[in-house]
Chain A
Amino acid sequence: KAGVTQTPRYLIKTRGQQVTLSCSPISGHRSVSWYQQTPGQGLQFLFEYFSETQRNKGNFPGRFSGRQFSNSRSEMNVSTLELGDSALYLCASSLESRSGGNTIYFGEGSWLTVV
């Protein structure tokens, strides 16, 4: 069973540009979450999608956005990049059920460097 796949793995962008990151969840998983991880801040929740709907959003500016497609694949976009956006962006997927017994699995992440 394939794991969570994120692309690209590494990228360098210039301040002011925009970037789109992609995530393919584990087959059958409908919940996809995005996290930003920086050395000083740890894992910060960005947003979560379920069945193409954003269910929850963290405390990030509007420059950060995302979407989910009918096949559960998800993308996140960051516009007008700032140096502080340099981070590891992690995608996680889960089956999601009301029982809460489903594990969340992470992808390898996308390393974004803004110069």
Chain B
Amino acid sequence: GQNIDQPTEMTATEGAIVQINCTYQTSGFNGLFWYQQHAGEAPTFLSYNVLDGLEEKGRFSSFLSRSKGYSYLLLKELQMKDSASYLCAVRVYSGGYNKLIFGAGTRLAVHP
């Protein structure tokens, strides 16, 4: 079956660095996405990894290891507005098309 695991909740301090992990067991892996979702709002795209390694985009970085079925999202210089849920989603290719499978999300609370 297809399975994605990420921690349910995390807390961090403003200005600090936090790493949100995601492990997956899927077949037909074809990329991994990270989305940010504030309460009551739609998920917004943060990053995409399809090859192993680190993708950096401002304060946010995402890492992928396909052999380990592992990814993490790194948030630096945390701000209060970073308090949100972070969704890990794996794209799998099967039957001629892509399908996106989401993890349950990690709720991050940033404290002053």
**Chain A residues within CB distance 8 Å of chain B:** 33, 35, 41-43, 45, 48, 50, 55-56, 90, 92, 96, 98, 100-101, 103-109
Residues of chain B within 8 A (CB-CB) of A104 are: 33, 45, 89, 100
Contacts of B98 in A (CB 8 A): 96, 100
Stretch at the interface among B19-27, B73-81, B102-110: B102-110
A-B contact count (CB 8 A): 55
Taking a contact as CB atoms closer than 8 A, the residue among A48, A50, A103, A108 that contacts B42 in the complex is A108
Q: Is the interface of B mostly helix, strand, loop or mixed?
A: strand
Contacting residue for A103 out of B45, B87, B99, B102, CB 8 A: B45
Determine how close the nearest CB of chain A comes to the CB of B101; give it in whole angstroms: 7
> In the docked arrangement, what's the CA distance between A96 and B98, Å?
8
Known: A104-B33, A106-B42, A108-B41. Contact between A42 and B105, CB under 8 A?
Answer: yes
Chain B residues in 8 Å Cβ range of A108: 41-42
Taking CB atoms, residues of chain B closer than 8 Å to A98 are 93
Asked if B7 is at the interface of the complex by the 8 Å CB criterion, the answer is: no
CB closest chain-B residue, reference A44: B102
Choice from A41, A48, A90, A100 contacting B43 with Cβ under 8 Å: A90
